[in-house]
């Protein structure tokens, strides 16, 4: 039977207001609903407003919940991660392209008050090792298969528990892929502005595909790629790029520029950068979502110039997606640009679904 859609307007502290597009009523979230024939009805949800607003009053981090930086040996490589919090459900935060776990610095201390929070540097990024694929004889090393395996092994070895994945950009594809490969490790996924992968080979017209492959070979196999990376890996370039994807450019601080730039100056970073921008295969979000068995919440900054929300809304139609949340006047990285919106969403989603997992008694 077809399910009728409805949407709820939710008021949060400050002037920005996310919109919840509900496909069906969720008793766990206690969202009021109203159906009138085949019409879509808009209404406010004061109970949810109060729930999120009360949590938002406690969004100021304290030193007790500041993250600790640690390393984990994965398949012989050193992986850097951060952790905070001793109680509650486990959260694993997964960054996007060119970023690292420091991109979650505004989220970790807040979420750690009621969760066990982990933020990982995917291999090749941040302060994790950056092996050269050509030197290790694996030209398909930096793929979503590799990162998904890393994420699932991290849950087994470090978290030692199933976890909720909170992901941004390409990290969203990593989280979805990990949940498909090892569904027993993932309780639920919150995806923030997932990468649409518009440069994927499947999304290109037939006549463009030979040109794309030639351009990729030019970047990977000649000095052109290194020259391009050097032009990008400067404070001025990083700031300009961030000002494109952040709607509120006042959030692009010197600290943020250094967070993104400094790991990119380490040995091996150029090779990783070129490998990924030449990676036009692998899974697409629309291929993974039908295979995901855990609940998914998608949130989207509506001023994202890289991943247009008009295309992102289509992901709300998949059965695994419980909510599609619009974050007004927010760009591509909501967790950093609007943590006062993202943190309460994470808390509410996790509180809803953590209770639904009851451990089976051992035989």
Cβ partners under 8 Å of residue 178, min gap 6: 147, 148, 149, 151, 152, 165, 185, 186
In this predicted structure, the answer to whether residue 303 has a pLDDT above a threshold of 70 is: yes
Give the chain's radius of gyration (CA, Å): 20
- Hey, which of 14-28, 29-43, 175-189 has the most confident mean pLDDT? 175-189
User: Are 167 and 94 a contacting pair, CB within 8 Å?
Assistant: yes
- Reported pTM: 0.81
Q: Is 175 exposed, middle or buried (0-12, 13-18, 19+ CB in 10 A)?
A: buried
CA–CA separation, 92 vs 113, rounded Å?
15
Helix axes 254-264, 269-277, angle to 10 degrees: 90
User: Can you read off the two tokens belonging to residue 5?
Assistant: 């859609």
- The mean per-residue pLDDT over the stretch 36-52 comes to 32
Q: 68-197+283-356 sits in which CATH class?
A: alpha beta
Q: In the predicted model, is pLDDT for residue 179 greater than 50?
A: yes
Question: Average pLDDT of 67-86?
Answer: 95
Domain segments of the chain as ranges: 68-197+283-356
Say which residue, 50 or 184, is predicted with more confidence. Answer: 184
Closest C-alpha among 290, 289, 297, 315 to residue 352: 297
Which of 145-159, 162-176, 237-251, 278-292 is predicted least confidently? Answer: 278-292
Whether 15 has a pLDDT exceeding 50, the answer reads no
**22's tokens:** 């509900």
- Indicate the pLDDT class of residue 363, thresholds 50, 70 and 90: very low
Tokens encoding 289: 């979502």
pLDDT tens-digit readout, 102-116: 999 999 999 999 999
What pLDDT is recorded for position 35?
24
**Better pLDDT: 356 or 41:** 356
Count CB-CB contacts under 10 A for residue 271: 21
Structure tokens at 225: 């790629």
Max mean pLDDT among 7-21, 55-69, 222-236 falls in 222-236
Q: Is the pLDDT of residue 271 over 50?
A: yes
Q: Is the pLDDT of residue 26 over 50?
A: no
Q: What is the pLDDT of residue 5?
A: 30
Q: What's the mean pLDDT when you consider all of the chain? A: 81
Q: Nearest-CA neighbor of 29 among 359, 325, 327, 267?
A: 325
Torsion-angle region of 239 (φ positive above 0: left; ψ -120 to 50: alpha; else: beta): alpha
Q: Would you say residue 234 has pLDDT above 60?
A: yes
DSSP secondary structure code for residue 65 in this structure = G
């Amino acid at each position: 039977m077809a399910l009728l859609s409805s949407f709820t307007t939710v008021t949060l502290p400050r002037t920005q207001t996310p919109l919840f597009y509900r496909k069906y009523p969720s008793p766990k979230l206690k969202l009021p609903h109203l159906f009138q024939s085949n019409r879509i009805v808009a209404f406010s949800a004061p109970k949810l407003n109060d729930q999120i607003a009360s949590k938002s009053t406690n969004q100021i981090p304290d030193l007790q919940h500041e993250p600790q930086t640690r390393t984990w040996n994965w398949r012989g490589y050193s992986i850097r991660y951060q952790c905070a919090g001793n109680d509650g459900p486990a959260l694993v935060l997964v960054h996007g392209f060119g970023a690292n776990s420091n991109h979650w610095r505004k989220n970790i201390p807040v979420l750690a008050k009621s969760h066990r929070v982990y933020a990982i540097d995917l291999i090749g990024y941040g302060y994790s090792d950056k092996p050269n694929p050509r030197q290790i004889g694996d030209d398909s090393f930096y793929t979503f298969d590799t990162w998904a395996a890393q994420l699932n092994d991290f849950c087994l070895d470090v978290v030692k528990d199933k976890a909720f994945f909170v992901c941004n950009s390409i990290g969203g594809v990593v989280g979805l892929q990990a949940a498909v490969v090892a569904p027993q490790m993932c309780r639920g996924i919150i995806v923030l502005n997932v990468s649409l992968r518009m440069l994927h080979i499947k999304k290109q017209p037939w006549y463009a595909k030979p040109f794309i492959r030639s351009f990729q070979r030019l970047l990977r196999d000649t000095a052109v790629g290194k020259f391009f990376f050097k032009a990008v890996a400067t404070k001025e370039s990083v700031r300009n790029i961030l000002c494109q994807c952040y709607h509120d450019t006042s959030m692009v601080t010197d600290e943020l520029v250094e967070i993104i730039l400094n790991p990119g100056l380490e040995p091996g970073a150029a090779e990783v950068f070129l490998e990924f921008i030449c990676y036009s295969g692998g899974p697409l979000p629309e291929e993974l979502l039908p295979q995901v068995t855990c609940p998914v919440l998608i949130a989207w900054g509506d001023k994202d110039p890289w991943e247009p929300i008009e295309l992102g809304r289509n992901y709300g139609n998949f059965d695994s997606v419980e909510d599609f949340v619009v974050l007004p006047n927010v760009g591509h990285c909501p967790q950093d640009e609007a943590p006062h919106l993202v943190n309460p969403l994470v808390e509410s989603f996790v509180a809803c679904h953590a209770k639904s997992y009851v451990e089976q008694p051992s035989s």
